[in-house]
Structure formats: structure tokens, C-alpha cells
Amino acid sequence: MTLMKNVLALRQKKAIVEKGGGDKAIEKQIAMGKMTARDRILAIVDAGSFHEYDLFVQHEERNFGMEGKVLAGDGVITGTGMINGSPVCIYAQDFTVMGGSLGLKHARKITKIMDHALKLKIPCIGINDSGGARIQEGIGALAGYGEIFYRNTMASGVIPQISVILGPCAGGAVYSPALTDFVFVVENISKMFITGPNVIETVLGEKISQEDLGGARVHAEITGNAHFYALSEQECFDQIKNLISLIPHNNEQKAKAIAPKKPKAKKDIEKIIPTNPKHPYDVRDIIHALTDDSYFLEVHELWAANIVVGFGRMDGETVGFVANQPMYLAGCLDCDSSDKAARFIRFCDAFNIPIVTLEDMPGYLPGVDQEHAGVIRHGAKVLYAYSEATVPKITVILRKAYGGGYIAMNSRHLGADFTFAWPSAEIAVMGPEGAANIIFRKEIMEAENEEAMREQKVQEYIEKFANPYVAASKGYIDAVIEPSETRELLLHALKISKNKEDFRPEKKHGIPPF
């Protein structure tokens, strides 16, 4: 055979494999409102940049009718490509091939591309659309999952790992996404659960739909397993591209800087906080007033809304924002918001992204529910994450900073590099009402007019303690600043912190309150 004939034969072989599970299965996939695995990869990476490997890998199973059965790519497509010019490793399970089920060879294709990602020090993106462990392969499939989980753990904190759930993700399959840094879901398409509805019905006698059990909204709003929620696959791919452009390739690099821009937010930063200190506002308006182009990519937008976390840019460089959200639960820290903040802080710290904290909260959320749900353990994660982080850490106290909240939200005492406070800041052990009721209880009870005395004592407390000047007089606050100065001061603090080095005692690893 001439070389040209060989080339033509290769093209034919490739064309057959690239058809995945064949026309009928592809039609079914599209009828479900889903893109094919190959189209998904091509829609995520830059045009012409995708290079596929292991196209001809095949399973070696002989049992349960598998002997001689050819599975295109063994049900998964793996390769490398570029996203907005940044290199990535990527894989996509192909549901048209035996439900994208995971056998040993399928898993080995995935672990090979993960190994590449770790050696090349570039992000790894996994698109999950699979019925889980390939039932015919039994232990081979379980071994495959275990090898993936091991690599997820080894790569954690070294390269960014992204999971995209674009179909079912059942049984052990959910644990690889759970070990990665960011999980993306799409309305009506993503399903994640340990145990499917059929098993639940058999074992527990309860009927529940896949959507209600583990659909996109369930994970974006209730469980917090998903960090990004989209209404369509295309919207999801745009979110992935935005995220990749904001984070570095690995833990030794910084995120790529772009040309600086001024904020374009319409709201005047001085006017965002209401005059009545008890009234709420949207802290995202303040973030928009601070970031370049007022851009902010919010992470976990729908979950634990009492804290806001996400990425923006200042002077062209990526910054992580952690901000109490007074619109929900007065911005209190509870179990979920503590988990959300701590995880985000640890990602920023692992990947050299400075953290700006905006504080306005009355403390940890009180109550039996929270105590029994473990707010002590969960809340401790925030203390741990901030204390452990060595990236530049800057805090701006906007309004309330009471009690544990004051300490937890990146206070000087946990290692903040710079702490600023607006003149509206109230820094105290607790809110003025609670404090006055306790320390002036006797005077209030003995007064002729209890209410008037209570009000007088609350005012006394506010004047003496609920302001930024007591903390500033002790050096815990570096400067009391006007709201309009905030961006300039943050830009300066970030600029002079670029070469920050912070040392920690040698240890194998810490033991965070997981």
C-alpha cells in the first residue's frame, strides 16, 4: 500500500470512531437537548486547537456479551486544546457509546490525560455524561474510578480542575467532580446523585424524579455541589472560558493580567450603604464599584447567598473577593456560608490570587439549628482558611464587624496585611442593643422609663464602641478611609504586596476542621 492509501484508510477509521455510538444514538442525544461529546469539546476550546489522543483505545472485557463489541473511543474523548490562548487538557464522556459508562480502559484514558495535565501544569476539564460504572466490567470499573479519585487528589492545589456535568452522573461517578475545584451544571441536563431514583424507590419506597433528586438547581442552590449554573450548554461553556481566563495555569504561576480598566458601575460607592444601619443593600454593588470594568464572576451565586465570593480584576490582575451579603441573613456566617468562603479562600491561596474581604455582618448565625448542624466546626473553617493563606489579604470593614465575625473576616489578628474601615464601621463585641441590654441591665431595669434608658444606653454604647476609632487607636485598623478612596487604596495595597512572602512552620499538612 502506498502512503496515500494508508492515509485514506486512517481517515476512514477515524471517521468511523468519530461517529461515536452511531446516528441513532446521536439523534437520541440531541433529542434530549444535549450536544454530542465531540461538539462540546469543540465548543469549549479555541477553533482548530483540539488534538485528540487514544482514539483507538478499546476495552478488553469478554463477559456479558462484550467480547468483540467495538466501542468508539471506549466511550470517552480525550485531548488537549487552548481556551482563549491558554492550554488545557480536556475529556468528554460520550453518552452515545454505551451510556458513556466507565470501564477500565475508559478510566485509563481519563487518568492518562489527567497525568498529562499534572506534568504539563495546565488545567484539566472533565465533561461528565455517563451511566456510571460499566456494569459488565465490574471490578475493572471500580478500579478505574479509584485511579481517577487518586489523581484528583494529587492534582488538587497544583492545577485547576474543572468538572462539567452534562448528563447523568451517578453512583461513584459523582466523587471525581466533588474532588475538583469547580463544578458546572446546566438546567434540565445535569443530574448528580449517589443513588438513582429506581434504587431509592426499591429500598425506601419513595418515588422521586431525577431532577428533584439531583438536578442542576438542587446542586446549585441547596447542596452547593455546583459552583456555576447555566440555562444552556453554550452559556455554561462561556462561563468556563471566563473562569479559565481569570485563573492561572498552575500553582507556580499567576493569572494572566489584561489591560487595566476603570469601573463602569453606575452606582456611586458613597450611596450604596443605606443611611439606616439596619437596612440591607447588595454588596455586589460595592464590588462592581471597585473592579476593572465593574466585572465580577460570581462563584456559588445561588448557594449560601449570605456570603458572596468570586473573581474580579483590579489594575488588570485577578483578585478574589469575599464579601458578607447584608441582603441575606444580614450577612451572618452560618454552616454553608462558612464552607463556601473557606473553600474559595483556599483556592485563591493555592493559586496565588490575592484576596479582598468586604465586611458587614453581625457575627455567626445563632440558633439551635445552626448549633446542631455544626456551626462551630464549619465556622472554624473560615478562621483556618484565612489564617493559613499566605497570599496578599486585605480587608475593608464597610459597616458591622461584630464579635466572631470581626475576627473571622480576615482581621489583622488572623494575618491580614492591610485592614481599612469606612467611617460607617461599627467594630464591637456585639451589636449595640444586645451589648447595652447586658452591661446596663441593672440601670435599665431600675429606670423609671425603661425604654428611654435602654435607648440612651444603646446610644452611649454606639458612641463609645460601635465605630472604627477604638480599633484604629489600637492599630488593628490601618486607616479609616472614605468610600471614594477605597479603590485607589486597594490598588496601592495590591501593587505593593506583589512580592509578599509569608512563612509557615514546616509540617506534612495541617488538619483543617473538615
Residues found near ligand HXC in the complex (CB under 6 A): 98-99, 101, 131-135, 142, 145, 168, 170-173, 196
Tell me the residue ranges of DSSP E strands in 302-368: 307-314, 317-324, 355-361
Min dist. Cβ of residue 64 to ligand HXC (A):
9
Q: Which residue's CB is nearer to ligand HXC, number 175 or number 295? A: 175
Q: Which residue's CB is nearer to ligand HXC, number 156 or number 424? A: 156
Q: Which residue's CB is nearer to ligand HXC, number 211 or number 298? A: 211
CA distance 381 to 347: 13
Residue type, 294: S
Q: Which residue's CB is nearer to ligand HXC, number 99 or number 263? A: 99
| CA angle (57 as vertex; 55, 58 as ends), nearest 5 | 130
Residue type, 149: F
Q: Closest Cα to residue 97, out of 154, 38, 173, 147?
A: 38
Query: Cβ neighbours of residue 336 under 8 Å, at least 6 residues apart?
Result: 224, 303, 304, 378
Min dist. Cβ of residue 142 to ligand HXC (A):
5
Q: Closest Cα to residue 342, out of 301, 378, 317?
A: 378
Q: Which residue's CB is nearer to ligand HXC, number 156 or number 195? A: 195
Min dist. Cβ of residue 172 to ligand HXC (A):
2
Q: Which residue's CB is nearer to ligand HXC, number 170 or number 494? A: 170
Query: Cβ neighbours of residue 402 under 8 Å, at least 6 residues apart?
Result: 361, 362, 363, 426, 427, 428, 429, 430, 431
CA distance 473 to 479: 10
Min dist. Cβ of residue 169 to ligand HXC (A):
9
Q: Which residue's CB is nearer to ligand HXC, number 170 or number 401? A: 170
- The full DSSP string for 401-415 is EEHHHHHHTT-GGGT
Min dist. Cβ of residue 102 to ligand HXC (A):
7
CA atoms within 13 A on the CB side of 467: 12
Min dist. Cβ of residue 73 to ligand HXC (A):
15
Min dist. Cβ of residue 24 to ligand HXC (A):
9
